[in-house]
């Protein structure tokens, strides 16, 4: 575990946002550490998902690269612009905006802080000289967990709970559907449920219980902190959930079939490393299965229930994606095309 050293800066009294909380890494004596700021979305730290994964990347960079961290948690989306600008003005050489909802704020802040580098996680590309956009092939990891669900489901019905119904989350849904149907053409993927937010666990739990009530025995979530409600519902009902973004298998051992791991942490670490080595470039960096950006967990608590034969089949599906033999759909059009093909 990293040791944090508080710098004890005074709290700023900006409306709607929290003052940045700094930590420092280890650097050579006399060398000024590089400062990297991060603004979390409304799911916040402790979501055991997307934001926590992003912060693990920061902590790794603190430990291995000696950076100083400035971090801000946002209470609402209208905070994003102020929070991003605040970190740039506090001297961060790089400011990271976590989550697709951060993109509009980055679009406004980056042009007015041209001496600062920015990173947009999950957003559409921003064609600016000081912005790198990090994207993932979530559909590939979702295909794999869907494939596993299709193999394991005993009821023949599975479900999906998303956060906001936006193209990013539809990538998770369509990849999951495609994988499940590839494993079992007779599987029924129930109509998806959406919470409309990233943090209301009660809403997600209700959505999951509705799906379980309709016969699903496995429900995959892509809803950030809200998705913890899906895992709670799985545990209560004696059925399976599939986690997302971080390894969530330990949250309810035996009730989480696997998690679709999205390695935001590693992408952030590599981006910071590029900056420290003078190799930072704007544009888009895409992380898929081939790049180690997405994948599954190692079934620590469910290997016996999945079975060796099914794990072997899953490995073959993975090889198919890596070779290009399997083209994973990411929206309705590509899903329909794949279904007809």
In order, the DSSP letters of 187-222 are -EEPPPEE-SSSS-HHHHHHHHHHHHHTT-SEEEEE
- Range(s) for CATH 3.40.50.2300 in the chain? 21-136+264-287, 138-261+307-340
- 290 contact partners, CB below 8 Å, separation of at least 6: 322
pLDDT value of position 22:
54
Residue-wise pLDDT tens digits, 229-258: 999 999 999 999 999 999 999 999 999 999
Q: Parallel, antiparallel, or unpaired: how do β-strands 35-40 and 157-162 relate?
A: unpaired
Residue 26 above 60 pLDDT?
A: no
Binning pLDDT at 50, 70 and 90, where does residue 123 land? confident
What does the angle CA 119 – CA 121 – CA 122 come to, to the nearest 5 degrees? 140
pLDDT value of position 28:
46
Task: State what percent of residues in the chain have pLDDT above 70.
Answer: 91
Mean pLDDT of 91-119: 96
How many residues can be counted in the chain?
A: 341
Q: Which fold has domain 21-136+264-287?
A: Rossmann fold (3.40.50)
Mean pLDDT of 203-224: 98
pTM (2 decimals)?
Answer: 0.87
Calpha distance 164→194 (Å, rounded) = 6
Handedness of CA 107, 109, 115, 121 (dihedral sign): negative
Q: For all residues of the chain together, what is the average pLDDT?
A: 91
Residue 1 above 50 pLDDT?
A: no
Binning pLDDT at 50, 70 and 90, where does residue 339 land? confident
Q: Which fold has domain 138-261+307-340?
A: Rossmann fold (3.40.50)
Mean pLDDT of 112-129: 95
Strand blocks (E) in 180-314: 188-189, 193-194, 218-222, 240-245, 256-262, 283-287, 294-296
């Amino acid at each position: 575990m990293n040791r944090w050293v508080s710098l004890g800066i005074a709290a700023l009294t900006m409306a709607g946002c929290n003052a940045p909380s700094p930590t420092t890494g280890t650097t050579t004596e006399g060398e000024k550490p590089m400062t990297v700021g991060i603004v979390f979305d409304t799911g916040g730290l402790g979501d055991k998902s997307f934001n926590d994964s992003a912060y693990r990347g920061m902590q790794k960079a603190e430990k291995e690269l000696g950076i100083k961290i400035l971090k801000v948690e946002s209470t609402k989306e209208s905070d994003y612009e102020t929070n991003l600008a605040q970190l740039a003005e506090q001297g961060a050489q790089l400011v990271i905006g976590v989550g697709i909802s951060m993109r509009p704020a980055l679009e406004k802040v980056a042009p007015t802080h041209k001496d600062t580098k920015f990173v947009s996680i999950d957003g559409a590309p921003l064609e600016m000289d000081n912005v790198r956009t990090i994207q993932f092939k979530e559909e590939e990891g979702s295909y794999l967990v869907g494939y596993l669900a299709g193999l394991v489901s005993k009821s023949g019905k599975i479900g999906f709970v998303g956060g906001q119904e936006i193209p990013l989350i539809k990538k998770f849904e369509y990849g999951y559907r495609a994988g499940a149907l590839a494993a079992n053409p007779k599987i029924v993927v129930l109509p998806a449920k959406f919470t409309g937010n990233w943090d209301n666990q009660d809403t997600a739990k209700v959505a999951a219980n509705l799906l379980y009530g309709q016969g699903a025995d496995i429900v995959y979530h892509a809803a950030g902190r809200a998705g913890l409600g899906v895992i709670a519902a799985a545990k209560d009902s004696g059925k399976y959930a599939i986690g997302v973004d971080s390894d969530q298998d330990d949250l309810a051992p035996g009730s989480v079939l696997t998690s679709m791991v999205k390695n935001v942490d590693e992408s952030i670490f590599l981006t910071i490393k590029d900056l420290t080595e003078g190799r930072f470039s704007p544009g888009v960096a895409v992380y898929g299965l081939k790049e180690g950006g997405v994948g599954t967990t190692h079934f620590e608590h469910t290997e016996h229930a999945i079975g060796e034969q099914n794990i072997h089949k899953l490995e073959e599906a993975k090889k198919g994606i890596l070779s290009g033999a399997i083209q994973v759909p990411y929206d309705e059009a590509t899903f329909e095309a794949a279904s007809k093909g």
